[in-house]
């Protein structure tokens, strides 16, 4: 928890020192999805992004996920860097994006109750979605298709 608050403070201080045009902060979102015969629930804890222009932003993210099927259950934490390119800059803002980061997870075999797999792996996650006001809705693919949603707030303005 301390690391999260430290990261938030650093992002805000860094954005002020480089005279950012807009800083976007996303707090608490959720996603549902899955792969073949499995399901997953994701919680988007925090994301912060610097937007040098209305069409692009880049920053970092932190999230957690749980998933499972009839044979195993898993839980993990995801963190890394992301960028979005906005196709329009009106009230309705469709975007495409990419996340690059680390996925730390543990997988437990339901039948034997033993850890089947644990570790950290590099992950690339493509995204496509839209923003309307603070509402952010997007689809992503990470070991299965997911639909996500959350709130994003912007601070600052473009000249």
Residue boundaries of the structural domains of the chain: 2-156
Q: Domain spanning 2-156 has what CATH number?
A: 2.40.160.20
Question: Among 11-15, 24-28, 76-80, 128-132, whose mean pLDDT is lowest?
Answer: 11-15
Higher-confidence position of 137 and 157: 137
| Dihedral sign, Cα of residue 95, residue 98, residue 104, residue 107 | positive
Give yes or no for residue 100 having a pLDDT over 80: yes
The mean pLDDT of the chain is: 85
Predicted local confidence at residue 28, as pLDDT = 81
Task: Tell me how far CA of residue 55 lies from CA of 22, 58, 119, 150, 152, in angstroms.
Answer: 11, 11, 36, 20, 15
The pTM of the full predicted model, rounded to 2 decimals, is 0.78
DSSP string, 63-120: EEEEEE-SSEEEEEEEEEEEEEEES--SSEEEEEEEEEEEEEEEEEETTT-SEEEEEE
């Amino acid at each position: 928890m301390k690391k999260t608050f430290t990261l938030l403070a650093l992002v805000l201080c860094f954005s002020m020192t480089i005279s950012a045009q807009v800083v976007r902060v996303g707090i608490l979102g959720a996603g549902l999805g899955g792969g073949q015969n499995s399901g997953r629930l994701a919680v988007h804890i925090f994301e912060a992004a610097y937007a040098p222009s209305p069409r692009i932003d880049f920053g970092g993210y932190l999230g957690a996920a749980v998933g499972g099927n009839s044979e195993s259950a898993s839980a993990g934490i995801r963190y890394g860097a992301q960028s979005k390119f906005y196709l329009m800059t009106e009230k309705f803002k469709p975007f495409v994006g990419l996340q690059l980061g680390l996925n730390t997870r543990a997988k437990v075999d339901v039948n034997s109750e033993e850890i089947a797999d644990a570790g950290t792996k590099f992950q690339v996650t493509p995204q496509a979605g839209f923003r309307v006001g603070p509402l952010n809705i997007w689809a992503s693919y990470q070991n299965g298709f997911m639909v996500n949603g959350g709130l994003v707030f912007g601070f600052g303005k473009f000249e």
